Amino acid sequence: MRATVLYAPGDVRIEDRPDPAITAPTDAIVRIAATCVCGSDLWAYRGVEAVERPTPMGHEYVGTVEAVGAGVTTIRPGQFVVGSFFASDNTCDICRAGYQSSCVHREYVGAGGAQAELLRVPLADGTLVATPEPPPADLVPSLLAASDVLGTGWFGAVAADVKPGRSVAVVGAGAGGALAVLAARHLGAERIIAMSRHPDRQKLALDYGATDIVTERGDDGVARVKDMTGGLGAHCVIEAVGTQESMLQAIRSTRPGGHVGYVGVAHGVALPGEELFYSHVHLHGGPAPVRRFLPGLIDLITTRIIDPGKVFDLTLPLDRVADGYAAMDERRAIKTLLSPSA
Amino acid sequence: MRATVLYAPGDVRIEDRPDPAITAPTDAIVRIAATCVCGSDLWAYRGVEAVERPTPMGHEYVGTVEAVGAGVTTIRPGQFVVGSFFASDNTCDICRAGYQSSCVHREYVGAGGAQAELLRVPLADGTLVATPEPPPADLVPSLLAASDVLGTGWFGAVAADVKPGRSVAVVGAGAGGALAVLAARHLGAERIIAMSRHPDRQKLALDYGATDIVTERGDDGVARVKDMTGGLGAHCVIEAVGTQESMLQAIRSTRPGGHVGYVGVAHGVALPGEELFYSHVHLHGGPAPVRRFLPGLIDLITTRIIDPGKVFDLTLPLDRVADGYAAMDERRAIKTLLSPSA
Residue A305 DSSP class: S
What pLDDT score does B259 carry?
98
Angle ∠(A140,A141,A146) on CA atoms, nearest 5: 95
State yes or no: pLDDT of B138 exceeds 80.
yes
Å between B25 CA and nearest CA of chain A: 25
The answer to whether the complex's ipTM is over 0.90 is yes
* Closest to B213 in 3D by CA, of B223, B203, B106, B222: B203
Nearest 10 degrees: Cα torsion B103, B109, B110, B116: -160
What pLDDT score does B49 carry?
87
CB contact under 8 A, B287 and A278: yes
What pLDDT score does B173 carry?
83
Nearest CA in chain B to A233: B94
* Distance of alpha carbon B1 from the chain centroid: 26
CA–CA distance, A93 with A123 (Å, rounded to integer): 16
User: Mind listing the pLDDT tens digit for each residue in B58-87?
Assistant: 999 999 999 999 999 999 999 999 999 999
Bridge partners, A16 (sequence order):
A2
Q: Which amino acid is residue B155, in one-letter code?
A: F
What pLDDT score does A173 carry?
83
Q: Chain B contact for A48, CB < 8 A?
A: no
Please classify residue A255 by burial: count the beta carbons closer than 10 Å to its beta carbon, then call 0-12 exposed, 13-18 middle and 19+ buried. buried
For residue A130, the surrounding DSSP H or E stretch is strand A129-130
Interface test with B, best of A102, A104, A243, A245 (most B CBs within 10 A): A102
Bridge partners, A63 (sequence order):
A32, A81
Residues of chain A with pLDDT under 70: none
Half-sphere exposure of residue B46, counting CA atoms within 13 Å on the CB side?
Answer: 13
What pLDDT score does A49 carry?
87
* Closest to A176 in 3D by CA, of A159, A192, A157: A157
User: Mind listing the pLDDT tens digit for each residue in B20-45?
Assistant: 999 999 999 999 999 999 988 999 99
Number of neighbouring beta carbons within 10 Å of residue B69: 18
Q: Chain A contact for B97, CB < 8 A?
A: yes
Q: Are B254 and B166 in contact (CB under 8 A)?
A: no
CA–CA distance, B186 with B209 (Å, rounded to integer): 9
For residue A47, the surrounding DSSP H or E stretch is none
What pLDDT score does B106 carry?
97
CA–CA distance, B293 with B158 (Å, rounded to integer): 10
- The CA–CA distances, whole Å, from B227 to B223, B238, B282 equal 6, 18, 21
Q: Are B257 and A94 in contact (CB under 8 A)?
A: yes
Q: Are A99 and B279 in contact (CB under 8 A)?
A: no
Interface test with A, best of B91, B166, B269, B279 (most A CBs within 10 A): B269
HEC secondary structure over chain B: CEEEEEEECCEEEEEECCCCCCCCCCCEEEEEEEEECCCCHHHHHCCCCCCCCCEECCCCEEEEEEEECCCCCCCCCCCEEECCCEECCCCCHHHHCCCHHHCCCCEEHHHHCCCECEEEECCHHHHCEECCCCCCHHHHHHHHHHCCHHHHHHHHHHHCCCCCCCEEEEECCCHHHHHHHHHHHHCCCCEEEEECCCHHHHHHHHHCCCCEEECCCHHHHHHHHHHHCCCCCEEEEEECCCCHHHHHHHHHCEEEEEEEEECCCCCCCEEEHHHHHHHCCEEEECCCCHHHHHHHHHHHHHCCCCCHHHHCCEEEEHHHHHHHHHHHHCCCCCCEEEECCC
Pairs across A and B, CB distance < 8 A: 120
Q: Chain B contact for A251, CB < 8 A?
A: no
Using an 8 Å CB-CB cutoff, list chain B residues near A96: none
Domains and CATH numbers, chain B: 2-148+289-339 (3.90.180.10), 152-285 (3.40.50.720)
CA–CA distance, A117 with A125 (Å, rounded to integer): 21
State yes or no: pLDDT of B342 exceeds 80.
no
